[in-house]
């Protein structure tokens, strides 16, 4: 184990930077002393911290860094490469230092890559609750990406493990996770990235049936109900390790009435969208503040404090619509940590919105 001082010396990150990335949920220490609060890092985190230092020197935003680290920890070099290239294309002329850092990262990837691929030959078949799958897809579909440079994010991950099916979507700036019950499969964990058009076709089949049949056969996925089916090819690229992305420091949980809070967001003040873009599209911010009693308000444009977080206003409204018609729980961490939006009846369905740092 390394102390925070030792990690700072070996990684090239300052102690204050390591504290910042801990609070943002990007590089969380392996252990924190419960009495002193002192941070300790595991041996495997040194490589991640050096990678993080390079990415920040190259000017990559935190939303992308989270996915790079998730792909790195899961050996998903295809995702890491595509994220690096997408950022390089966005860099303006003259960022020679950033290009040097990315060249070094490519060399590290070349040494890390394992060309051996284990191919699954036996089809995976399971029975899924139709109402639960419909609700799960409705809860995550809004978060699927549309960036052609990152096709693995342009769909929904079907993550099958035993009698549990998780569906996950992310476009880097937001992520949604939901669960549906499944039976008939007890093998190893299987993942398939289903393109968004096929996800929509599957959702259209989910009507009054109690259950549907889901098959993953090589690179093909099939959903069957009665004599109807929706089938097609999966995206032949890996999905980021979403389980890593949801390991966030505990925050302040604030229950909200969805209808009233949505009205407050729609009618409340916004920060101007000037100089703010995500994938080339400008957007407005809603700044949220949570009081000690759990009351959440939409703030006026101002300095902000430790209990405030700024998020894409349109994304927030979509997450509220996908979450629940009645009540939800907003979970606030540091201003730099994602805002979690959770259902009150389960911990398995939630969404996360990446924060936007407020400029002074």
pLDDT value of position 275: 43
Residue 130 lies in a domain: yes
202 and 107 part of one domain:
no
**249 Rama sector, left if φ>0, alpha if ψ -120 to 50, beta otherwise:** beta
Residue 98 lies in a domain: yes
pTM: 0.72
- Distance, CA of 139 to CA of 17 (rounded, Å): 34
What is the SS3 assignment for 283? coil
210 and 264 part of one domain:
no
pLDDT value of position 100: 66
pLDDT value of position 88: 83
Report whether 332 contacts 307 (CB < 8 A).
yes
Residue 102 lies in a domain: yes
Residue 30 lies in a domain: yes
User: CATH code at 145?
Assistant: 3.10.150.10
Residue 141 lies in a domain: yes
Helices (H), the chain: 4-11, 15-23, 45-57, 62-73, 77-90, 96-112, 130-140, 196-205, 242-245, 258-267, 313-323
The count of structural domains within the chain is 3
Report whether 2 contacts 40 (CB < 8 A).
yes
Report whether 197 contacts 234 (CB < 8 A).
no
The boundaries of the domain holding residue 309 are 248-353
C-alpha triplet 341, 346, 352: angle, nearest 5°: 20
- Domain boundary among the residues 210, 242, 274 is at 242
- Domain boundary among the residues 112, 134, 162 is at 112
Report whether 257 contacts 327 (CB < 8 A).
yes
Of 281, 301, 297, give the one whose Cα is nearest residue 289: 297
219 and 157 part of one domain:
yes
Residue 117 lies in a domain: no
What is the SS3 assignment for 191? strand
Residue 360 lies in a domain: no
First to last CA, the chain: 38
Report whether 181 contacts 160 (CB < 8 A).
no
Q: CA–CA distance from 82 to each of 85, 191, 219, 226, 319 (Å)?
A: 5, 20, 21, 40, 27
pLDDT in tens, the chain (360 residues): 889 989 988 988 888 888 888 888 888 898 888 888 889 999 889 998 999 999 988 888 888 898 898 888 777 788 888 898 888 888 765 555 655 677 667 767 766 654 434 444 588 999 999 999 999 999 999 999 998 888 889 999 999 998 899 999 999 999 999 999 899 998 889 999 999 999 999 999 998 778 999 999 988 999 999 889 999 999 988 888 888 888 776 778 899 999 999 999 999 888 755 445 566 667 788 889 888 788 898 987 544 444 688 889 999 999 999 988 889 999 988 777 899 999 988 888 999 999 887 654
- Domain boundary among the residues 112, 133, 148 is at 112
193 and 292 part of one domain:
no
């Amino acid at each position: 184990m390394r102390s925070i001082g030792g990690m700072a010396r070996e990684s090239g990150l300052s102690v204050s930077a390591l504290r910042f990335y801990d609070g943002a949920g990007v590089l969380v220490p392996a252990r924190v002393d419960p009495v002193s609060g002192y941070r300790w890092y595991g041996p495997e985190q040194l490589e991640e911290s050096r990678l993080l230092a390079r990415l920040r020197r190259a000017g990559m935003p935190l939303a992308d860094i989270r996915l790079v680290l998730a792909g790195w920890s899961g050996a998903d070099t295809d995702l890491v490469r595509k994220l690096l290239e997408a950022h390089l294309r966005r860099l303006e002329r003259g960022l020679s230092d950033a290009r040097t850092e990315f060249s070094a990262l490519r060399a590290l990837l070349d040494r890390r890559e394992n060309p051996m691929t284990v191919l699954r030959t036996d089809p995976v078949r399971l029975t899924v609750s139709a109402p639960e799958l419909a609700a799960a897809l409705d809860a995550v579909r809004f978060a699927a990406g549309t960036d052609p440079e990152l096709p693995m994010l342009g769909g929904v991950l079907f993550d099958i493990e035993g009698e549990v099916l998780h569906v996950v979507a992310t476009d880097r700036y937001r992520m949604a996770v939901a669960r549906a019950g499944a039976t008939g499969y007890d093998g190893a964990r299987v993942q398939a990235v289903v393109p968004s058009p096929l996800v929509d076709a599957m959702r259209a089949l989910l009507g009054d049936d109690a259950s549907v049949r889901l098959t993953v056969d090589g690179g093909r996925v099939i959903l069957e109900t009665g004599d109807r089916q929706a089938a097609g090819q999966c995206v032949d690229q890996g999905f980021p390790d979403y389980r890593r992305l949801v390991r966030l420091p505990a925050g302040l949980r604030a229950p909200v009435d969805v209808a009233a809070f949505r009205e407050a967001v729609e009618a409340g003040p916004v920060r101007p969208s000037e100089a703010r873009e995500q994938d080339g599209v400008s957007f407005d911010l809603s700044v949220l503040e949570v009081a000690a009693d759990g009351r959440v308000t939409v703030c006026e444009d101002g300095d902000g404090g430790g209990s405030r977080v700024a998020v894409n206003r349109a994304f927030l409204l979509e997450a509220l619509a996908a979450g629940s018609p009645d009540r939800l729980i907003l979970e606030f961490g540091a201003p730099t940590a994602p805002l979690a939006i959770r259902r009150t009846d389960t911990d398995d369905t939630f969404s996360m919105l990446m924060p936007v740092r407020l400029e002074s």
